[in-house]
Every structure is written in C-alpha cells, then in structure tokens.
Structure 1
Amino acid sequence: MGAAYFYHLTRKPLEETLGALLTRALAAGWRVAVRGTEPGRLDWLDEKLWLTPDDGFLPHGMAGGPHDAEQPVLLTSAPELSNGATCVMCIDGAGVSPEEVNTLDRVCILFDGNDPGAVEVARGQWRALTGAGCAAQYWSEDSGRWEKKAETGG
C-alpha cells in the first residue's frame, strides 16, 4: 500500500524539485509517470529535464511514442500508466485517485505554494485522499530545506 506525498514548492522551481525526486525514484527502482494537465507544459518540462545539472542523465520520454512501455520516466497527461509506473508524480493540479495511491509504491503531488489556486487544488486533493483513508505526508521547503509538516497513517 502506497502513500501520497505532497510537496509545497516555495523556493525552488518545479523542474529542479521534480528532477531531484525523479532521480531518487529511479534509484529506488521505480518506473515513474509524471502526470500533467497541459501538453505544452509537458513539452516545456521535457526540455528542462534534459538540462539536468551536474552532468546527470535523467532518462525520460513523452507519452504517445512507440517506446512508451520502455520509458523509465514518462511525461503524460493521460491516466493510463503505459510504462508500468509504480510511482506517479502529479504536477499542475493533475488528478490522482485513492485507488492509485493504494496500489502504487508512491504518489507525489507537487504544487506551487506561491499560486493560491494551486494551493487550494492541493488542499482539495489532500482532503479527498486522506478522507478516503490514504496515507499521506505534507512536505514544505519554507525554511530553506524540506521538512515534513504533517502525516496521516491512512
């Protein structure tokens, strides 16, 4: 049974935080789907992830190609996990169901803490997932480093 980890971004940009989380997920042996809501935003993110600092290589691809099933990280706006992902990272308010949280190793929900609309969407997701009995953690970088601020056992 998995858990939902909420990441409240206030200092570092999405692409930097996402890159770090993806690197850790791949090191854990997970296949990842990065779920967004807009194809244009996913194209932008695709470009940013190829520019990983420190000469790091972050293997990934955009959904819709002939090799989706082979991608360790797949950027998608679809609910299907065509790369066999065991971890889903949601950006820009992309949805995730309690069933997914309970069947995947991990769900990460990244949201812009400087955008009141994004914060409200994340709060709604927290209420929906924890209300359905999902385990969840809330992480904030407000102090300059990531700190766990809340946790539910599910």
Structure 2
Amino acid sequence: MNRVDFYQLSRDPVELALPLLARATLKAGERMLVVSSDEAQLGRVGQGLWALPDTFLANGRAGQPHEDRQPILLSDRLEPANGARFLALADGVWRESEQPFVRTFLMFDDSTVAAARDVWRMLRAREGTERHFWKQEGGRWIEAG
C-alpha cells in the first residue's frame, strides 16, 4: 500500500509549505527525497528547510558527498540515494518509480492543477494506492474531498 497526498498551493509557495511536511517526515523516522526539474526551485526549497523557525532540517543535494546520509535529499532525479521512502514532487510534475515510495507528496499550484487532476484520476484505478487531497484554508492545511 502506498499513499499519495495532493497539496494545492494557493497561498504559500512550495519553499514555505514543503519544510512543514519534511519536519513531519523526520519526526516519523523517515527520510525524504525532494524532486524538481527547476534548479532555482530546489535552491529555494533548500533555503526554506534551513530557515524553518525552531527547527533545523539538514538537507543536501544529490550528487554531492555524503548524499546517502542526508535525511532530506534534493534532486532532479527520482533516485533516492539517501534511502528515502517518502517523496516530495516539488515542481508539480508526476513521476513514476519502479519501486513505489511509501508516501508521495505532489505539490501543485495554478500552473499545474490540470496535470494534478489527471494524476488524481489515473491513481483512482490503481490498486493499493490511497489518495488524499489537501488545501490551504486560513493559513492551515485541511483535508478536502
């Protein structure tokens, strides 16, 4: 069984929303792979992980020394060199993996909402996949639908 959480970014950009998910992931004893094809976005996410108030979320880039030790690994590829079982798709682009992640966070905004809807429909028919949809309301995340 794997789980896909759809996060609709309507108020905060991914670099503010994703650190909260990363913190919860680490508290659960898991590691995270963050994937984006946008190098600048990965840089902003990395800065956001360091800047979360009252928390220090160590992270590193794929291809750099000690990538296997990083609790949060930032990459442009779907290769969890850190052994992550949790995946965050920061750029809103769905990617398939040979070995499914236990949990995937698909972060999407207005520019990728149509593609996210297509993924939602595609996963509806996939056995063993649980789907959840989250949206921002009043500064909090609430599960919708």
TM-score (norm 2): 0.89
Aligned runs of 1:51-70 on 2, under 5 Å? Answer: 51-54=51-54, 56-70=55-69
Flag structure 2 segments of 5+ consecutive residues without an equivalent. Answer: none
Opposite residue 3 of structure 1, the aligned amino acid is R
1:123 aligns with 2:100: no
Matches within 5 A, 1:1-154: 1-54=1-54, 56-97=55-96, 100=99, 103-112=100-109, 115=110, 117-133=111-127, 134-150=129-145
**TM (normalized to structure 1)?**
0.84
Moved more, 130-139 or 14-23: 130-139
* Of 119-128 and 45-54, the range deviating more from structure 2: 45-54
Identity %: 35
Question: Post-superposition shift, 1:147?
Answer: 1.7
Count residues in correspondence. 144
> Deviations for 1:76-122, whole angstroms, at most 9, x for unmatched residues?
1101111111100111123232765xx4221111112xx2x311121
Question: In the aligned structure 2, how far is the partner of 1:110 from the partner of 1:77?
Answer: 15
SS in 1 for 2:137: coil
Distance (Å, rounded) in 2 between the aligned partners of 1:28 and 1:45? 20
Letter in 1 for 2:94: G
